[in-house]
Structure 1
Amino acid sequence: MFEPRHKVVVTQRFFDAMASDFLKSHGCEVVVAELAPGQADGDLSERQLTDLLADADGWIVGHANITSSLLASLPRMQVIARRGVGYERVDTAAVAAAGKVATIAIGGNDASVADHTVALMLAVCRQLKQCQLGLAANDWSIPLGGDLYRKTVGVIGLGRIGRGVLQRLSGFEVKPLIYSPRPGSTQADGCFVGLETLLEESDFITLHAPLNPQTHGLIDGRALALMKRSAVLINTARGGLVRDVDLLDALREKRLAGAGLDVFESESDPRCSSVTEQLIQLPNVIVTPHAGASTVEGLNRTNLIAAQCVAAVLEGRSPPSHCVIADGRRCEGQP
């Protein structure tokens, strides 16, 4: 039996055998961190992460903050692979300056999140939460829901997931309106409109934009005031895209019909925790715990992509270019 040449630490749950076996076949020892129930790697302190990763060459990570100080404490680390696509918690400049590589798992969970988005649309408009709560209380009265069929759906952000949502909604014969803050989307992609037009005319608005300084708080009190009272807001992207306290006010004052939320501001800002708790309690809000990407199939795909990226770097190769968010090896004169 050969000795592993590299050590890879995984700080995510549900790391499947296929991805683990792939790494082992490429000469890696695989160590899956034991996290406490309900704990994620984003909850770990920098000291805890350093202890876990001190002798690791590769790291498959979820939501931990990748900072310059953490990287400085991990001189052996060569590659950090996010099992996901958002990377607002990764200091890419620090990764490059440290001569390391950071990757994301492009294409692994797009279908899962697109499915989840449509599920939330249907759950809100058909008032499934009210139906469930009523039956649990032995109340068989029927809440009057609404259709998704032939409604106007505004899609903010036209990346892979936004396109997947539109593809799924074609069967509902919806009228799509698209606003994309990302350069590169073209009119050929669909019916592009300005943000205000989309907010004013849509029956459903679904967010699929990246979180950055330009999109942070994109849906605030002013944006919500432009929306129809009968509209439904869906967010399966990033919590910071929405000012949750403004959303809470709009829902309580019946200036918005409902919301389907898989992400919350409180995930990155604990000061918003009480707002999240209040949103969860509203009868016209369907919530899930940032679970959009978490299907067996979706996680298996992202696990394998992350493992492939790690193996490539540890063997001196380049991962797929569309997965690379930082590559500091050139800073050290490497090809």
Structure 2
Amino acid sequence: MSPSRKVVVTQRFFDDQALAYLRDRDCVVEIASLPPGKADGDLDHDALVALLAGAAGWIVGHARVTRALLEALPDLQIVSRRGVGYERVDLEAARDLGRVVAIAAGGNDASVADHVIGLMLAVARRFRESQQRMLEGDWSILMGSDLCEKTVGVVGLGRIGKSVVKRLSGFDCNVLVHTTRPDPDYARATGVDYVDLPDLLRRSDYVTLHAPLTPQTRFLIDATAIETMKPGAILINTARGGLVEDAHLLQALRAGRLAGAGLDVYVSESDPSYKPVSQALLALPNVVGAPHSGASSREGLDRTNMVAARSVVAVLDGGDPPPECVVADGRPGR
């Protein structure tokens, strides 16, 4: 086996099938042993360099892939994310240095979409509040609200957004969509209406976010946007921490402006100064929170593991990952 086919995995829950796929294709696989309670995003530059020395492929979770890190790893040919976000990867540096960056496109769409519907139902039907009261001996009934036949605003219409729209059809929802790339054929086929963001916020009983985090979308939902929302609406964010100004959301929930929120991502994931805000949100009875686990079903992780592994093998074999997986390719002639 050639050392040029060394692959390091810094993600937990890497399944046997994906591991076998890599090894059957002459890859030497090393799965990083991370400290308890830590993810690869918690590792500093020096720790990552030590783990990745000599690696040609890296299957990564949430670690920051900086220019300095790539420069310190001259053997590294491909960074393959077991996920679909790539805001923590310096794509320009990857191109400059001749590297490939791939995402696991299509692997977790169903898992995250299921998670979204689950959060909508949990918040609207007040599952958390009801169970807590029962534990305290109060079995009185709290009145919730339906998802059926409500108006749902979907912000962003990528693969996950479309998967959510598909599921909402079973609830007979009226779906409004805000996207930078409206597709008239899709609207005719599904019955969604394309609207601008203020209109979507004013009309929606539920707002669910599925946009990437960019300088243009950072704090897309701030105090002004929340003030535009329909009173008593429910906000769902499973996309990226930073799309919502969590401090403003906290104020709105405390003031009773919104009925509740379902959160899987938080500003504090990238900005530790927001940690008290995240803790305060999670303490509210009308917030249902999860630790960025929307894609973390057994089936979803198995799918994304395999997509990430296939991209690694494709590059090490001198070929190309599926086009939808490639977000940067700095190899000559590509």
TM bracket, shorter-chain basis? over 0.9
CA distance in 1, matches of 2:38, 2:100: 26
Matches within 5 A, 1:206-217: 206-217=208-219
Normalising by structure 2, we get a TM-score of 0.97
CA distance in 1, matches of 2:21, 2:81: 17
CA contact (8 A) 1:258 1:285 kept: yes
Q: Identity over the aligned pairs, expressed in percent?
A: 55
Deviations 1:175-211 (Å, cap 9, x if unpaired)? 111111x335447432011111110010000000111
CA distance in 1, matches of 2:280, 2:293: 19
Deviations 1:282-332 (Å, cap 9, x if unpaired)? 0000000001000000000000000000001011111111101111112xx
Matches within 5 A, 1:54-93: 54-93=53-92
Report how many residues are paired.
Answer: 330
CA contact (8 A) 1:4 1:27 kept: no
Report the equivalent of 1:16.
15
Matches within 5 A, 1:1-335: 6-180=5-179, 182-183=180-181, 185-186=183-184, 188-189=186-187, 190-330=192-332, 334=333
Deviations 1:222-265 (Å, cap 9, x if unpaired)? 00001122100000100110000000000000011100000001
Measured after TM superposition, the shift of residue 3 of structure 1 is: 6.6
Task: Classify 1:265/1:185 alpha carbon distance in 2 versus 1 (closer, same or farther; 3 Å).
Answer: farther
Q: SS at 2:164's partner residue?
A: helix
CA contact (8 A) 1:5 1:27 kept: no
Q: SS at 1:318's partner residue?
A: coil
CA distance in 2, matches of 1:57, 1:99: 12
Displaced runs of 4+ in structure 1, greater than 6 A? none
CA contact (8 A) 1:158 1:185 kept: no
Please tell me the residue identity of whatever aligns with 1:45.
D
CA contact (8 A) 1:81 1:306 kept: yes
Q: Where does structure 2 lack aligned partners over 5 or more consecutive residues?
A: none
CA contact (8 A) 2:11 2:59 kept: yes
Please tell me the residue identity of whatever aligns with 1:183.
R
CA distance in 2, matches of 1:4, 1:17: 22
Please tell me the residue identity of whatever aligns with 1:209.
A
CA contact (8 A) 2:4 2:75 kept: no
Q: SS at 1:240's partner residue?
A: coil
CA distance in 2, matches of 1:47, 1:4: 21
Please tell me the residue identity of whatever aligns with 1:277.
Q
CA distance in 2, matches of 1:186, 1:36: 49
How large is the Cα RMSD of the aligned pairs? Answer: 1.2
CA contact (8 A) 2:182 2:194 kept: no
Q: SS at 1:248's partner residue?
A: helix
CA contact (8 A) 2:3 2:54 kept: no
Normalising by structure 1, we get a TM-score of 0.96
CA contact (8 A) 1:200 1:226 kept: yes
Please tell me the residue identity of whatever aligns with 2:18.
A
Please tell me the residue identity of whatever aligns with 1:143.
L
CA contact (8 A) 2:153 2:200 kept: yes
CA distance in 2, matches of 1:285, 1:136: 18
Task: Classify 1:185/1:239 alpha carbon distance in 2 versus 1 (closer, same or farther; 3 Å).
Answer: farther
CA contact (8 A) 2:82 2:304 kept: yes
